[in-house]
Amino acid sequence: MLSDCLHGLAALGADGVLALTGTMLLAGLAGGATHCAGMCGPFVIAQTLQAPAGGRLVRLAGLPLLPYQLGRATGYAALGAAAGGAVGLASLGVSRSLLALPLVLAAALMLVQAASGLPLPARLRIPLPHLPMPAMPAGLLRPGPAGPGRRFLLGLMLSALPCGLLYAALAAAAASGSALAGAIAMLAFVAGTVPALTGVAVLGRFFGRRFGRGLRVLGGIALVANAGVLLALALRVA
């Protein structure tokens, strides 16, 4: 039973884990284009500007961001593993219906994020609380060329940035019931955010001005669909 909490995939079943992973990937795509692009945009633009010169093609491919993205992936995978393992341990000797709770929480948080991006009447909008920005070591953000190690460390530290969409993703990862499945779910989420963050790094503010409005609507619709899948999974394990 303990091994299932660490590296098992049986809590939701193979198809349940596959559905959760697909949902997390879509959540990353939707949130990356709507939420992460604005919140993390300054950091990815700075990483591109601070990267050593490597030619226009290298910059357009987003290669200067690779250490930064690997740092984010490492941090998010660790958080997902901790969340999935903790809920798996908490559910030992208890019905697996306990996993329905984080799934419902994740669905609710995604609906809140979706409401902020869809053109809804004012009375239906849910104001999102302002989350404080954690203090960052000055050395990570100093001007000048940034080596791969510093960019990796920045991505690793920013994986704990207070973020409502991150909390939704972690709640979904927790419902996987194991450290391995939670890490896989969060890696899928990170992979989904990569295209939008690369677009911001390459196109800068033009990305938001040119694509922002349409992507917010599409992202909101995708997050509503994600919430529906998570609720279906919650009903299945309840």
Query: Which has the minimum average pLDDT: 11-20, 86-95, 139-148, 173-182?
Result: 139-148
Query: Which has the minimum average pLDDT: 67-71, 79-83, 167-171, 214-218?
Result: 214-218
Work out the average pLDDT over 24-38. 79
What is the per-residue pLDDT across 205-227, written as a single tens digit (0 to 9) for each?
555 565 556 667 777 788 888 89
- pLDDT of 37 reads 63
Neighbouring C-beta atoms of residue 22, cutoff 10 Å: 14
Average pLDDT, the chain: 75
- For residue 199, the one-letter residue type is G
Work out the average pLDDT over 10-21. 78
- pLDDT of 199 reads 74
- pLDDT of 114 reads 78
- pLDDT of 57 reads 44
* Confidence class for position 24, pLDDT limits 50, 70, 90: very high
Spatial separation of the C-alpha atoms in residues 22 and 142, rounded to whole Å: 37
Spatial separation of the C-alpha atoms in residues 26 and 114, rounded to whole Å: 13
Query: Which has the minimum average pLDDT: 9-18, 62-71, 78-87, 159-168?
Result: 9-18
Higher pLDDT, 103 or 207: 103
* 8 Å CB contact between 181 and 10: no
Nearest to 30 by CA among 222, 230, 228: 222
Query: What's the per-residue H, E or C state across the chain?
Result: CHHHHHHCCCCCCHHHHHHHHHHHHHHHHHHHHHHHHHHCHHHHHHHHHHCCCCCHHHHHCCHHHHHHHHHHHHHHHHHHHHHHHHHHHHCCCCCHHHHHHHHHHHHHHHHHHHHHHCCCCHHHCCCCCCCCCCCCCHHHCCCCCCCHHHHHHHHHHHCCCCCHHHHHHHHHHHCCCCHHHHHHHHHHHHHHHHHHHHHHHHHCHHHHHHHHHHHHHHHHHHHHHHHHHHHHHHHHHC
User: Which tokens go with 60?
Assistant: 């357009």
Give percent of the chain above pLDDT 70: 63
pLDDT at 54 over 60: no
- pLDDT of 6 reads 52
The structure tokens 């601070």 sit at: 50
What is the per-residue pLDDT across 181-210, written as a single tens digit (0 to 9) for each?
899 999 999 999 888 787 776 766 555 565
Work out the average pLDDT over 163-175. 88
Higher pLDDT, 125 or 158: 158
Spatial separation of the C-alpha atoms in residues 91 and 93, rounded to whole Å: 6
